[in-house]
Structure 1
Amino acid sequence: MSDPHPLYTPMPWSLKEIRDAIPARCFSRSTSRSLLYLGRDVSLAATFWALATAIDPFFLELGTNSACPLVVSTTLRLVAWCVYWWFQGLMFTGIWVLGHECGHGAFSSHRPLNDMIGFITHSLLWTPYFSWKISHHRHHISHASMERDEVYVPKTRSDLGIPQSGTHIDYQEIFGDTPLFTLFMLVRQQLLAFPAYLLFNSSGQKNHPKWTNHFNPNSVLFTKAQRRAVILSNLGLLAMVCGVWQAVEIHGAAQVFKYYVIPWLAVTHWFIMITYLHHTDPTIPHFRGKEWNFQRGAAATVDRSFLGWQGNFFLHSVARYHVIHHFFPKMPFYHGAEATEALKAFIGDYYVFSDKPVFQALWDNYNACQFVEDDGEVLFYRDKKGEAVLFPAKT
């Protein structure tokens, strides 16, 4: 835009008007089609696992061959494990995405089947299925609301102790982190943010009591009627603790770490990276008070081109068609492309897409999205210099 201070006016349409613009077939759920995707993903994960069992024997034998120096065989062995970790991490994440579909009821129209598959797949990947399903639903119904959203709630100026604008502020002193420190913080976020959210409500709604977490059945996140589901989620993870402990006893910690733990760490990384970039961007608004409504909040997210064909195939295009998912969470992912085109045609510039390389976007947005103002009903992130790229139009 040529305007150095482009202005934003909240979206005017009702949810019904937007829904009517989407082809009715996009809301159809096919249990058989979803099961085929699940079968494909599980089969590929098992294949990758089976292939990995040949890595150590092959390269150890190669290292005994005098024609192949030990340093070469060792390097090739490490490369082979890195290839396994990359693709198995993506595959595990794809299975997690299907569990996420189950949590929304998008996998099938049969709720017991959704919950059975979601519980199994998420427990295997250290996610408390029912507990997270409940809080994630609350995130969807309140997305981009400063008062009610459950995750990626922006910090305010006062949260960070930054003086009010209009006074002399040394932003360099406040945010003057070295690139190396920023990199460290990003790596920490990518590997630990999801466990920290589940355990400590990190990045969650700051109005919740201290020690809010996803494992306490009496947490403010849950109603009394939901307590049994929370306990069941905990039992699923307890079963995983027993299973992993037994695997370590039988196969050794190193083998469990190579085959399972590192790909699982990749799941937490991809999941946090995808969701962070969906919900954290200087071009999307957050709302207070009466300026928020469901459809405005749903549009306040970003679709991204993510890892090219690998993101589309392994991750079921979860990053590419996220905006439509926020409007209609029960819509299956395989209708995302068609529904997104219809949504984009109807809401126009309110639809946000970015094809910036995702690791560059992660770095840029981590630096650009520092805080929002304490006042105002339509808010945009400000960067490490206290500057924003969009501003609400005065009404």
Structure 2
Amino acid sequence: MSTTTQTPSETTTVTKPYSEDDLPAYEPMPWTLNEIRAAIPPHLFVRDTTRGLLYCARDILMAAIVWKMATWIDPYFKSEGLVEQLTPIGAEAARWGAWLVYWWFQGLIFTGIWVIGHECGHSAFSASKTVCDVIGFITHTFLWTPFFSWRISHHRHHSNHASMERDEVYVPKTRSDLGIPQHVEHESQWEEYFGDTPIYTLYMLIRQQVLAFPAYLLFNVSGQKNYPKWTNHFDPNSILFTKAQRNVVIISNIGIAIMIWGVTAASQRWGTSEVLKYYGIPWLLVSHWFIMITYLHHTDPQLPHYRGKEWNFQRGAAATVDRNFLGWQGRFFLHDVAHFHVIHHFFPKMPFYHGPEATKYLKEFIGDHYAYSDAPVFKALWDNYNKCQFVEDDGDVLFYRDKQGKAVRRPIDKYRVPHTAQATEAN
């Protein structure tokens, strides 16, 4: 915030010191889940198995058509006539341009297929548990996700979202996690904690986007910090699972083992480079899109996190944000998974195709507690990766702080911790 003082000879801009008191105050949601559910028409909770299967068939058909079209890329752009017409360099550039187009759209289509499995994991695809289990297992295994194991931890995430003590993923680091003292004497000292160059920050962001989901499944990266060191989704005896869930974890592992065998056999028959071109790179894009979508759903300086008794399910559900993700492509290929995610957190069993209409009723009821952003998503990814660094060690309603320890929002006075405001005002 700044004020401008004008004199006859000059205009001077004076920057007002940062103060927590000047931040917009946030009061947690007061309504019960039953009150919110009553505001949504009952027909929007109905699951239509036939409709879900048609969406699934559409995605598989698109993937097959695009795959078939890709088989023409190399023969066409390597043909003598085209090489002579475009020159060898021009033909090669056009060939790789065609592969880029294939990877973009096949990556989106594969991600849509993953979203179908996600719907099955929530039993939103069909009222039939068998249908959800079969479709979810096939679609997720095809995309290297251990369906039943992931479903268990993902359900726990939904049941505890935005709880500092119990959430499964995207649990914020605290001030003490990063070794930042409560009182930072001078702004320049923040460089000691967050002095990374933009190039290094970009490298870390790209690494997150490509590897975060496999790293979460294998090593619990970005997961709950209270879990043991070797927590993962493939150990039937992991803390993530109960003894009763052991068998479905093993079934998930068998599915991944079949994928390992299938990809190995395909590589031996057609070559590793061909498997990478047709399947491997689109799968990497699935991992990227999924991580980008979920990261931006749950990570934003405007969104609260809670401790202790101040958390409840509906407050956690509202601590997500809907985003205009890739415009029409996000809506068509990704089944509105990013555009209407808030309603999904309130009612995970609601089919995705009812999300747009249900969101209108939700927004009307909860008002300013509904979060939406139409910021360009790649800009939002960069901004939030830099702005959402840590939360405080104490307090029950928390907001992310940036690389200078500053927030963009604060809880109402009832929830404030006095020394926090003093410490940040000193900067």
Scaled by the length of structure 2, the TM-score of the pair is 0.91
Q: Paired residue for 1:118?
A: 136
Q: Which residue of 2 aligns with 1:287?
A: 306
Q: Which residue number corresponds to residue 243 of structure 1? A: 262
1:307 corresponds to 2:349 = no
The answer to whether structure 1 residue 17 and structure 2 residue 35 are counterparts is: yes
Matches within 5 A, 1:4-153: 4-62=22-80, 65-153=83-171
Q: Please state if 1:274 is matched with 2:311.
A: no
Using the alignment, how far apart are the partners of 1:187 and 1:63 within structure 2?
A: 39
**What's the offset of the Cα at 1:62?**
4.5
Deviation for aligned residue 1:63: 6.4
Flag the 1:280–1:62 CA change in 2: closer, same or farther, 3 A: farther
Fraction of identical pairs, as percent: 68
C-alpha displacement of 1:352: 0.2
Unmatched runs of 5 consecutive residues or more in structure 1: none
User: Is structure 2 residue 401 aligned with structure 1 residue 382?
Assistant: yes
Deviation at 1:177, TM superposition (A): 1.2
Q: Larger Cα Rg: Structure 1 or Structure 2?
A: 2
Q: Deviations over 1:148-196 (max 9, x none)?
A: 0000000000001111136446112211111111110110000000000
SS of aligned partner of 1:312: helix
In the alignment, is the contact (CA less than 8 A) between 2:83 and 2:91 conserved in 1?
Answer: no
1:210 aligned to which of 229, 233, 239: 229
Q: What letter matches 1:374 in structure 2?
A: D
Partner SS, residue 86 of structure 2: coil
Q: Deviations over 1:228-271 (max 9, x none)?
A: 01000000000000000110011000100000000000000000
CA contact (8 A) 2:209 2:288 kept: yes
Offset at 1:359? 0.1
Q: Is the 8 A contact 1:106 1:332 kept in 2?
A: yes
2:84 aligned counterpart, secondary structure: coil
CA contact (8 A) 1:303 1:319 kept: yes
Q: Distance in 2 between matches of 1:367 and 1:133?
A: 30
**Partners of 1:63 and 1:70 within 8 A in 2:** no
8 Å contact from structure 2 (residues 304, 397) kept in 1? yes
* Number of residues of Structure 1 aligned to a counterpart in Structure 2: 395
After superposition, residues 170-181 of structure 1 pair within 5 angstroms as 170-181=189-200
| 2: CA distance, partners of 1:338 / 1:375 | 39
Structure 1 residues 377 and 348, CA gap change in structure 2 (3 angstroms):
same
Matches of 1:355 and 1:64, distance apart in 2: 43
* Partners of 2:77 and 2:83 within 8 A in 1: no
Does residue 324 of structure 1 match 2:336? no
**2:39 and 2:361 in contact (8 A); partners too:** yes
| AA in 2 matched with 1:352 | A
Q: In the alignment, which of 265, 276, 288 is matched to residue 284 of structure 2? A: 265
Q: Secondary structure at 1:66's aligned position in 2?
A: helix
Which residue in the other structure is 2:420 paired with?
none
C-alpha separation in 1, matches of 2:206 and 2:185: 34
The answer on whether the counterparts of 2:76 and 2:82 sit within 8 Å (CA) in structure 1 is: no
Q: 1:114 offset after TM fit, Å? A: 0.2
Where 1:69 maps in the other structure, the secondary structure is: helix
Mapped contact 1:291–1:378 kept (Cα < 8 A)? yes
2 CA distance for matches of 1:65 and 1:163?
Answer: 64
**Alpha-carbon shift at residue 66 of structure 1 (Å):** 2.6
Letter in 1 for 2:373: S
